[in-house]
A and B are shown apart, each in its own frame.
Chain A
Amino acid sequence: MDANQILKEVNDIFIDVLDNEDIVLTRETTAKDIEEWDSLNHIQLVVAIEKHFKQRFTSSAIQSWKNVGEMCDAIADKQNQ
């Protein structure tokens, strides 16, 4: 799966979990850019992403992500392992 496809699928997850059809993620998007992306929703986003991509991350890996791009890179890295 290429980077654009991963970003698209992550975008769909954000729309569903945050219940906001207007979300358009870029690699530079952070929690500060999306009002609904609070700490509780962050948990739901991670759970949904782990389920969707059938991957598991460590808490330290998640905390290291600075933006959506790094999140997508981590997903891609696991897919390529």
Chain B
Amino acid sequence: MIKGQEFLHTFQVTDSVYNGFIEIFKDKNPLHTDEAFAQAKKFREKVMHGNILNGFLSYFIGECLPVKDVIIQTQEIKFALPVYLNDKLDFYARVEDVFESVNTIEFKFHFSNAENKKVAKGKIQIGII
């Protein structure tokens, strides 16, 4: 992978992703499970767990790169807008820097919703093992 290389993928927060996340991690906070509660907090509907996007990031690193011998070293993500059930998210990642001395690659990424607004962005540093 080289500096500037770009990657695109589309993810969707389907029922199975949402329900699977709750089943596994048990986060049933009403913001994520109660429409009335979420609407009382000025959201359109119940808000998806932000860390679902971290699952998508895991898929990107583990399955979408041209090499499989990778490990995530650091990761940071900033959530800007809510994601709702069944939202389709366009994912964009770019190789921001390559550190050949320690076999490390840094990506910048963002997720955009159907209105082309960034819902989250961040950085991931991976090692080639």
Residue in chain A with minimal CB distance to B74: A44
Count residues of chain B with CB under 8 A from any CB of chain A.
12
Residues B102 and A46 in contact, CB atoms below 8 Å apart: yes
- The residues of A that contact B104 with a CB separation of less than 8 Å are 43, 47
- The residues of B that contact A47 with a CB separation of less than 8 Å are 99, 102, 104, 106, 125
Those of A13-62 within 8 Å (CB) of chain B: 40, 42-44, 46-47, 50-51, 56-59, 61-62
Residues A40 and B101 in contact, CB atoms below 8 Å apart: no
Residues A58 and B101 in contact, CB atoms below 8 Å apart: yes
Min CB–CB distance A30 → chain B (angstroms) = 18
- State the A residues within 8 Å of B (CB): 40, 42-44, 46-47, 50-51, 56-59, 61-62
Residues B101 and A62 in contact, CB atoms below 8 Å apart: yes
Between B99, B101, B125, the greatest number of chain A beta carbons within 10 A of the residue's beta carbon is seen for B101
Residues A62 and B100 in contact, CB atoms below 8 Å apart: no
Residues A59 and B125 in contact, CB atoms below 8 Å apart: no
**Contact A57:B73 (CB < 8 A) given known A43-B127, A47-B125:** no
- The residues of B that contact A42 with a CB separation of less than 8 Å are 102
Q: A61: which of B73, B97, B101, B103 is its contact (CB, 8 Å)? A: B101
- The residues of A that contact B97 with a CB separation of less than 8 Å are 51
A2 CA / B13 CA spacing, docked (Å): 54
- The residues of B that contact A44 with a CB separation of less than 8 Å are 73-74
Min CB–CB distance A77 → chain B (angstroms) = 15
